[in-house]
Structure 1
Amino acid sequence: MINKQKWTSKNDSGFSPFDLAMMILSLVSVAIVLTMTFGELNQEIYRLMLMIDTGICIIFLTRFFSGLVTAHNKKHYLVNHWIDFIASIPAIEALRFARIFQILRVVRLLKMSQSILLPLIKQRAKTTLSSLMLAMILILSFSSIFILLVESGAPDANITTAEQALWWALVTISTVGYGDYYPVTTAGHIIGSVVIISGVSFFGIISGYMASVFVAPDEADRIEAQEERADIKSDIEHALERMEQNQQHMEKTQLKMEQNQQQMLSEIESLKSVLKQKLHNNNKQD
């Protein structure tokens, strides 16, 4: 049986969207390392993959140290996440394969959390941020690799180095398009079209997310005001109900008092009648 506490720190509430994003990045990184190790790559493709892997390592290190800073028990966090730090060290190929343990750790979290969609739905803000970060990294990485693969061997190509490929991918996804570097092959044009469409969609999602961030507080205030009005209405209805019950009780009490008063008057009249009769009998005897 898996000990859940062993695989989570006190500041981890089980599986989170960032864990899933880190697992996907770990898979991408392992694939890049395997390609760099066993693939026959030219120098520029190798340099580009090394730059991408280094960028992913920086993200892993940022995630590790941010978790360490926010952890309530830092010793417990280090004991359970030291492999994340080892796997995040760049430029050492032997250590990069330790990212497989990162993947296994997230897989265990997924098994313990019974459902993947439920945490993603409950943590919508984290899901959106992690999805945007992951999409940006994947689009930049794969578009720069593919464009360099198809353009580096073409005549009159101007995207021939790792830096040029990354720069082209960045300005294309941002839809700026300086025009200093551009594809000259048909495959490069297709890749550029896909990157442009992805960039437009990407920044459209960012705009929608930022709008929701600013609108959400107003919506929350509106919902809170509605709840307050509903509470006030409920209190007024309860007060009116209590007043009505008190009025009914007072009416019953008043009716009972009137009945008692009638009974007392009747008894007084009966006593008067008896007294008069006795007085009359005494007068006769005298």
Structure 2
Amino acid sequence: MKLKEHWAHNIQLSPFEVVMMLLSLISVIIILSMVLIPMDKETHKLLFFIDTGICCIFLGNFFIGLLRAPDKRLFLKEHWIDFVASIPAIEPLRFARLFQILRVVRLLRMSRSVLGVLLKQRRQTTMASLLLAIITIVAFSSVLVLLVENGEPGANITTAEDAIWWSLVTISTVGYGDFYPVSTVGHIIGGLVILCGVSFFGVISGYMASLFVAPDEQEHLEQQRQEFKHQLDDVLQRMEHNQQTMLQEISQLKQELQQQHKNR
């Protein structure tokens, strides 16, 4: 029981922890696909590029956590496996990410309400969700478009680099036109990626607007609190004044009654 409490105390559940777990799961699936599924050279290279990008995110998350940790020695003791599993280009070490998945799953089980935690940290949840969605869509769309377009007559997306560049350009809705799908399925994939990109930029625009609007709302709420506090103070002062007036009138009335009693 004490070990469980120590674990929960030292590792705080956050939206980015959940995203790291999901990215670890995606990375493990990618590694298993590269090892077990026969594929051409370009598809293998593309999966390697995607996994290396995920490794860079893991390393960034690790060093950010290390810099923020109050006890860096304890952080290294508990998270060293994350660093080992984030080293690119060494496939056997990447299976160590299973430990990261198990750790976060254990943390999720100990948390009473994951949804409550995510709702309390809405800004982190928004950013973490966007990060996960962008990585997932770029990864899957680049793999799918390469598999679909490779071998098609007149296809210009034939390498891993072309597929990643097309996916990034399409999701950002820039549309350079230097690489484009020529097959019907490729057009469908491109259309879905464009719709996702438009949605992402809408969410990001709303998020950025909230960053500027939020301080004004906080100031407005603070002003309302101050006004309510002043009104409450005025009411309390009036009540206190009325109470004192009533006590004085009661005391005066009591004296008059005593005086009348003496006169009798």
- Is 1:159 the counterpart of 2:157 in the alignment? yes
- Is 1:4 the counterpart of 2:1 in the alignment? no
CA distance in 1 between counterparts of 2:149 and 2:110 reads 46
CA distance in 2 between counterparts of 1:2 and 1:198 reads 46
Is contact 2:8-2:110 (8 Å) kept?
A: no
- Is 1:199 the counterpart of 2:200 in the alignment? no
Aligned length: 264
Unaligned runs of 5+ in 1: 268-286
Structure 1 residue 255 displacement after superposition: 2.1
Is contact 1:7-1:105 (8 Å) kept?
A: no
Q: Secondary structure at the match of 1:132?
A: helix
- Letter of the 1:217 counterpart: P
- Is 1:190 the counterpart of 2:188 in the alignment? yes
CA distance in 2 between counterparts of 1:186 and 1:4 reads 54
- Letter of the 2:206 counterpart: G
CA distance in 1 between counterparts of 2:6 and 2:89 reads 30
Structure 1 residue 205 displacement after superposition: 0.7
With the length of structure 1 as denominator, give the TM-score of the two structures: 0.88
- Letter of the 2:128 counterpart: S
CA distance in 1 between counterparts of 2:57 and 2:173 reads 24
CA distance in 2 between counterparts of 1:112 and 1:123 reads 18
CA distance in 1 between counterparts of 2:119 and 2:150 reads 43
The partner residue of 2:52 within 39, 51, 54 is 54
Is contact 1:152-1:160 (8 Å) kept?
A: yes
Structure 1 residue 248 displacement after superposition: 0.8
Is contact 1:183-1:189 (8 Å) kept?
A: yes
- Is 1:110 the counterpart of 2:108 in the alignment? yes
Q: What is the CA RMSD across the aligned residues, in angstroms?
A: 1.6
* 1:22–1:140 distance in 2 versus 1, CA, 3 Å: same
With the length of structure 2 as denominator, give the TM-score of the two structures: 0.95
1:132 is matched with: 130
Please identify the structure whose Cα radius of gyration is greater.
1
Larger deviation, residues 90-99 vs 224-233 = 224-233
CA distance in 2 between counterparts of 1:77 and 1:54 reads 24
The partner residue of 2:140 within 134, 139, 142 is 142
